Amino acid sequence: MNLPKDLRTKLSEHTTLGELRIAQEQLSKDGTQKRLWECADGSLIESVLMPYDTKRRTACISSQVGCAMGCTFCATGQMGFKRDLTEAEIFEQAARFASELQSRGERLSNVVFMGMGEPFRNYDAVLGASRRIMSDLGIGARHITISTVGVVPNIERFAEEGLEIKLAISLHEADDAKRSKIMPVNRKHHLPELLAACRHYVKRTGRRITFEWALIAGQNDDIGTARELGKLLQGLLCHVNLIPLNPTKGFGGRPSTNANAFIDELAKRGIPATVRVRRGIDIDAGCGQLAEEASKEIARARLEERTVKE
């Protein structure tokens, strides 16, 4: 049944479908779209839609408001933890992108849990949302990736799920002491424990693991470190995804230009590696850049609005 135009106008102005409201959007020169969502309780989260020339359309979605893991090079880690997202809030980020793409004859093809938060610290909601992404949006498990900094018990749990969802480990250092300095989770789950869980996962599932490595100039991009990483991963079914460090306000590291030499050194030990294509850097939508800068602006605007009313 058709609704009267006046009613449709009122509904569009005063109602929302789902849990999330679009608070702000930014469009990168490369076509990447960053969206700030406002949850029903006023919490703010970010997610990103990345278009590629191959017609692939990837949504990078968040699992928490902020993050408790404290990785020094990550903007979300620098902002601290607020709360877990619900299964519905996680799913809706992907569903809204999928609906908008469909309306213009395109299709959401991939979903990655690489936005704000640590997915394996919100395990049940993330797995529930993943199953809905598969069943409701028709996105196959092999086109979904969950990234974790190394929450070992839930890597082991994930190995028993019987899902073909891809697993990525945010690694970034091959030495315990060095990794603990930039990734506090390593103080609880040291590299031998993490690698044991990864080997169990591969043995149990037969699936390849991706290790993410942010190349930081003068810190983890030299040939010696590549050899150390190669020794650590040798014999494991895996792939290394090299990420040129993206700038964040709370970390002084610089992106490396040594990727090719790093790749060649890993190849000597039979470990494949590629460089991730940088997307949305000009709007702070790149890997590790999602933070609450926009939410701070909105909070200031709300405060100013209340001050004027008072």
Is residue 297 in some structural domain?
A: yes
Provide the number of structural domains found in the chain: 1
Q: pLDDT of the chain along its 310 residues, tens only?
A: 455 666 555 545 444 457 899 998 988 888 899 999 999 999 999 999 999 888 899 999 999 999 999 998 887 887 889 999 999 999 999 999 999 999 999 999 999 999 999 999 999 999 999 999 999 999 999 999 999 999 999 999 999 999 999 999 999 999 999 999 999 999 999 999 999 999 999 999 999 999 999 999 999 999 999 999 999 999 999 999 998 876 667 677 787 888 999 999 999 999 999 997 765 555 554 555 557 565 556 655 555 555 555 5
Is residue 287 in some structural domain?
A: yes
CATH of residue 236's domain is: 3.20.20.70
Give the active site residue among 19, 38, 39, 46: 46
Query: The domain containing residue 34 runs over which residues?
Result: 19-302
Is 304 assigned a catalytic role? Answer: no
Is residue 290 in some structural domain?
A: yes
Nearest CA-CA partner of 48 in 60, 31, 65: 60
Is residue 120 in some structural domain?
A: yes
Is residue 4 in some structural domain?
A: no
Is 287 assigned a catalytic role? Answer: yes
Give the active site residue among 39, 212, 287, 292: 287
Quote the pTM value: 0.87
Most distant CA atoms of the chain, gap in Å: 69
Is residue 7 in some structural domain?
A: no
User: E strands, the chain, where?
Assistant: 21-27, 33-38, 44-51, 57-60, 64-66, 81-84, 110-113, 144-148, 166-170, 209-215, 238-244, 273-275
Is residue 206 in some structural domain?
A: yes
Is residue 107 in some structural domain?
A: yes
